[in-house]
Structure 1
Amino acid sequence: MIKLIASDMDGTLLDGNGGISPYNVEMINEAKKRGIHFVIASGRAYTDILPVTQQHGVECACVTGNGAEYIDEKGELISSCYLGAKEAIGVIEILKALDIKFMIYTTDNRYSIEAVENVQDAFIQRSLHKDKTQTYEEVKERLKTRHSIFRMEEVEDYHSLLPTKKIIKIEAFDIDTSKIEEAKKRLSALGNVAYLSSFPDNVEITHSDATKGKILLKAATLLGIKEDEVMVLGDSFNDLSMFELFENSVVMANGEEEVKKVAKYITEAYDEDGVGKAIKRWVLE
């Protein structure tokens, strides 16, 4: 019997408009009525998750920053694993050397070590590279309401700032995927860091113990829930740590092929109520 459901957000729970479909909300709430815990497990920071869940009336626990934090339904921090300042500075030096744009997520803000507009422009160009049906301004307006890159502050002396902050992750991106691959090679030489890509053109860096799977396992244990009583849903490589630890794994039809090879089940795509249908099929019936 499933007692806890954990779902990724982007490419999984959210629809094409960046919201949670009525059917997904209905199935989540039905599961909760039956005493089943629901958790969002995302690479996003908590402050980027909360507006979405509040908009759709979904009260749930959250795994943030790909495993940096576990925050319960009431917004209380239960477990954390932040990236150390020394390690973060080492990551930044690698990204600077390769001229890769990035943003630093902390528990209280988002930071850039160069002009914010430059990083925002690179992020917009990345979106345009993937979808050429929209104009630059259309992409910019869409992202302004959905992405924290437009709520970012420039900082010059990051050597002094970072030791005073709780660092969730560093997210880097470049349309030149060869630069991302080179960054991964160099990151592999650093200690106490983990890195993964949600897409070929990005890399997200966290503490080595900050994975969705590890922190979700810790939370389930605290709740007295066994591994085989957990169902996890996702679409990309940052979900693999959950799929490797929990046998009841569900990948979206739009998911990465490598992830599909690991998953136990395949559900409909993110824009076809895949999460809700998976809950109905494998939890509620």
Structure 2
Amino acid sequence: MYKLLVSDLDETLVRADGSISPENAAAIKAVLARGIKFVPNTGRGFASVQKLLQAIGTYQQAGQYVISYNGGAVIENKDNQVLATGEMPYADAKQIFDLLADHPEVDIHVYTLNHLYIYNKRQDDLDYVASRGVEYIDMPDRDFTRFANKHIMKVIFMNPDITTRHAVAEEVKAALGDKVDLTYSSARYGEFNHHGVNKGSATLQLAERLGIKPDEIMAFGDNANDIPMLKVVGMPVSVSNGIDDVKQLAKYVTQANYETGVAEAIHHFILQDDK
């Protein structure tokens, strides 16, 4: 029996406009009514997830959780209490930022525990950020000392061209070595977290806190940053629009995409007797 469901958001659970379908919301509410935990596990900050939590019924609820920043923070929904963080050392974050800032073709996101800063804004990125209801602070210059006393969760960059994205990401990864982990998401981002911090490690950390075994967890994903999460759970699920690497790892691939794929899998494995 599955006791914990963890799900990526963008391109997995929510639609292009950032909303959740009635089918997905209803299926989640049904498993919550059975006492099963449903935890968004996202690269985004937890502040941007609050509207979704309202839609599924876990907003400001004690004993309900969000995993943010690709595993960089585990949050209890009641009062957004921070339970655990995996922040990035300032020197590493600054080195990543400085290398990325030498590339005018990318824009850069610096995530602190409570805010997102964007440097060298691209309109195509701002449009995507706005569609997700994400608020940001404009970073008008390269002075990274503004983060000297802040908790840095991750540093990411955006360019929609896959060749450019991979070339820039690999350059930075080569310079930082095993200090950081590199993943890709949403066909637009290269993401850097502190080494060992990912959606999978945070899932297991929360599960241990709740007394839940890995084989009692179901996870939903679509992209490369979901792979560490899918690797550590008993039932890894890919929505139909998932990339090939995710589909090959999944034990179940939905027929539906992000519109209703999560609901499809929930009904298949958990609510099959609710007909």
TM-score (norm 2): 0.88
Matched, 1:185 2:189: no
Mapped to 2, the partners of 1:30 and 1:265 lie a distance apart of 20
Shift of 1:212: 0.3
Match of 2:51 in 1: 51
Higher RCO, 1 vs 2 (CA within 8 Å, ≥6 residues apart):
1
Shift of 1:241: 0.3
Secondary structure, counterpart of 2:57 in structure 1:
coil
Mapped to 1, the partners of 2:171 and 2:66 lie a distance apart of 31
Shift of 1:236: 0.8
Shift of 1:271: 4.4
Mapped to 2, the partners of 1:284 and 1:270 lie a distance apart of 19
Matched, 1:170 2:155: yes
Match of 1:259 in 2: 246
Shift of 1:49: 1.0
Pick from 83, 86, 100 the counterpart of residue 81 of structure 1. Answer: 86
Gaps of 5+ in 2: none
Matched, 1:105 2:111: yes
Larger deviation: 213-222 or 46-55?
46-55
Secondary structure, counterpart of 1:91 in structure 2:
helix
Q: Is the 8 A contact 2:73 2:84 kept in 1?
A: yes
Shift of 1:55: 4.5
Q: Is the 8 A contact 1:70 1:78 kept in 2?
A: yes
Mapped to 2, the partners of 1:67 and 1:271 lie a distance apart of 21
Match of 2:72 in 1: 68
Q: Is the 8 A contact 1:101 1:173 kept in 2?
A: yes
What amino acid maps onto 1:240 in structure 2? I
Shift of 1:279: 1.0
Mapped to 1, the partners of 2:190 and 2:217 lie a distance apart of 27
Larger deviation: 207-216 or 167-176?
167-176
Q: Is the 8 A contact 1:4 1:38 kept in 2?
A: yes
Greater fraction helix: 1
Match of 1:208 in 2: 195
Secondary structure, counterpart of 1:164 in structure 2:
coil
Pick from 118, 122, 125 the counterpart of residue 123 of structure 1. Answer: 125
Q: Is the 8 A contact 1:98 1:179 kept in 2?
A: no
Larger deviation: 151-160 or 44-53?
151-160
Secondary structure, counterpart of 1:12 in structure 2:
coil
Shift of 1:113: 4.1
Tell me the matched-pair count.
264
Matched, 1:279 2:266: yes
TM-score (norm 1): 0.85
What amino acid maps onto 2:9 in structure 1? M
Which digits, 9 at most, give the CA deviation of each residue in 1:146-172, with x for residues without a partner? Answer: 353x63222536332222111122220
Mapped to 2, the partners of 1:260 and 1:233 lie a distance apart of 11
What amino acid maps onto 2:93 in structure 1? A
Match of 2:97 in 1: 92
Match of 2:132 in 1: 146
Q: Is the 8 A contact 2:241 2:258 kept in 1?
A: no
Secondary structure, counterpart of 2:211 in structure 1:
coil
Shift of 1:110: 1.9
Shift of 1:21: 1.5
Gaps of 5+ in 1: 125-139
Shift of 1:106: 1.2
Q: Is the 8 A contact 1:111 1:155 kept in 2?
A: no
Pick from 206, 230, 247 the counterpart of residue 219 of structure 1. Answer: 206
Shift of the 11–111 alpha-carbon distance from structure 1 to 2, 3 Å rule, reads: same
Secondary structure, counterpart of 2:191 in structure 1:
strand
Mapped to 2, the partners of 1:161 and 1:85 lie a distance apart of 11
Which digits, 9 at most, give the CA deviation of each residue in 1:28-84, with x for residues without a partner? Answer: 111111111110001110111112322553444111011101112322211110111
Q: CA RMSD in A?
A: 2.0
Mapped to 1, the partners of 2:202 and 2:258 lie a distance apart of 28
